[in-house]
Amino acid sequence: MHNTIFTNQAMWRFSSIISILLVTVIFLWAAPSDATTNVGTAGAQFLKIGPGARVDSLGGAFGGLANDATSIYWNPAGLSQLKQTSFSDTHTIWLADTRYNYLAFATPVEKVGTLGASVTFLNVPDTEITTLAKPDGTGLWYSAWDAAVSVAYSRQLYEKESGVNLSFGVNAKYIHQQIHRESATGVALDVGTLYHTGWRSLRIGMCFSNFGPEMRFSGPDLATGAEEAGDSRNAEYRPYPDTTNPTRKAELETVEFPLPSNFRLGIAYDLLDSGDNLLTMALDANHPNDNSERLNIGLEYWYRKMAAIRGGYKFRLGPDRSNDEEGLTLGLGIHMNFAATMLSLDYAFADFGTLQRAHRVSLGLKF
């Protein structure tokens, strides 16, 4: 009788969770967004490039998984799942010959929680400066790069014998953007939760990303013009200079821009777990402030926890989804154990349609 009641309760809980998730996804799909999608209204776009070849090959569906060092970015609450010190290094040959690099480090501390830190760096090739008078180039060059440094903390709030547990995580970041001699700086905060429902392997994650004040560019090249004291016009009729017009300098005022904030709701569930074989499905629903909603789906198959095959797809929800360049993602992964140290190597391929393809490689360590 007790087992029957427990089973009914578990089934009711599972059906309630699935119903909520389905309603959320349907709402995101059907929500009217034909008025505007806010494309191009947020800056610091490099913050939207997610790290980790593993995650990329899953179509960016990681909010409910969040079980490696890149969780600092995807859902900081997932850091509480790490049992060992973990390191992750991602190198990406991104679009337009840009280079994206991400380093992450996390370590569990007994009775404290899990601490993490990450560094993101994006740079573009040097570009020759052109002017209206010299449209073919001046012989001078400028560079542009973006960087972010973050620190994260995660802790498990409670755990029950039934397998139910809830974790909380926060990630604070400092942001810097540089174009030639002009720069912009800012700060942002990510807050996430991860809930193990206790019903088999179902996990639910939520994360609010990149919440912070607006940023603005400034620098010496924005200063323009100088007007000397006095007026040389009709000087022969003026015995004294016109001191009512002192030296003045003007500076172009740039517009403040918001950060690319996002709300992510993710679920993860093991479709197959038979010892040697593990097949996991992940789904993320994203609501950004500068575009229409996106639904990411991924599948990951592990054989003996040594070799993995992954695939995913990114769906744009809204009237402009037919013009979206992102879609299919594929990848491979391998784990190699050396005593107490595990080395992981992951590769991801992403198809961007007319923008060609992006390749990503990640290296991970657990010790």
Is 37 part of a structural domain of the chain?
no
- If asked whether residues 180 and 290 sit together in one domain, one would say yes
Is 65 part of a structural domain of the chain?
yes
Is 166 part of a structural domain of the chain?
yes
Hey, what's the torsion of the CAs at 78, 79, 85, 86, to 10 degrees? 60
- If asked whether residues 235 and 135 sit together in one domain, one would say no
- If asked whether residues 96 and 28 sit together in one domain, one would say yes
Is 38 part of a structural domain of the chain?
no
- If asked whether residues 265 and 144 sit together in one domain, one would say yes
Q: Which CATH number characterizes residue 211's domain?
A: 2.40.160.60
- If asked whether residues 117 and 233 sit together in one domain, one would say no
Total domains, the chain: 2
Q: How far apart (Å, rounded) are the C-alpha atoms in residues 223 and 242?
A: 24
- If asked whether residues 243 and 261 sit together in one domain, one would say no
User: Who contacts 225 (Cβ-Cβ below 8 Å, separation ≥6)?
Assistant: 248, 249, 250
User: Who contacts 87 (Cβ-Cβ below 8 Å, separation ≥6)?
Assistant: 69, 103, 104, 105, 364, 365, 366
Domain final residue pick, 230, 253, 276: 253
- If asked whether residues 352 and 313 sit together in one domain, one would say yes
- If asked whether residues 120 and 16 sit together in one domain, one would say yes
What range defines the domain where residue 227 resides? Answer: 222-253
- If asked whether residues 57 and 164 sit together in one domain, one would say yes
- If asked whether residues 111 and 226 sit together in one domain, one would say no
Between the two ends of the chain, the Cα-to-Cα distance in Å is: 46
Domain final residue pick, 201, 230, 253: 253
User: Who contacts 310 (Cβ-Cβ below 8 Å, separation ≥6)?
Assistant: 54, 57, 58, 298, 299, 300, 301, 329, 330, 331, 332, 333, 348
- If asked whether residues 145 and 247 sit together in one domain, one would say no
pLDDT in tens, the chain (367 residues): 444 444 455 445 545 555 555 555 554 444 444 445 677 778 888 999 889 999 999 999 999 999 999 999 999 999 999 999 999 999 887 777 788 899 999 999 998 999 999 999 998 888 888 888 888 888 888 888 999 999 999 999 888 877 789 999 999 999 999 988 889 999 999 999 999 988 888 999 999 999 999 999 888 877 765 444 444 444 454 444 444 555 556 667 778 889 999 999 999 999 998 889 999 999 999 999 888 888 999 999 999 889 999 999 988 776 555 556 677 899 999 999 888 889 999 999 887 766 667 788 999 989 8
- If asked whether residues 184 and 89 sit together in one domain, one would say yes
Is 39 part of a structural domain of the chain?
no
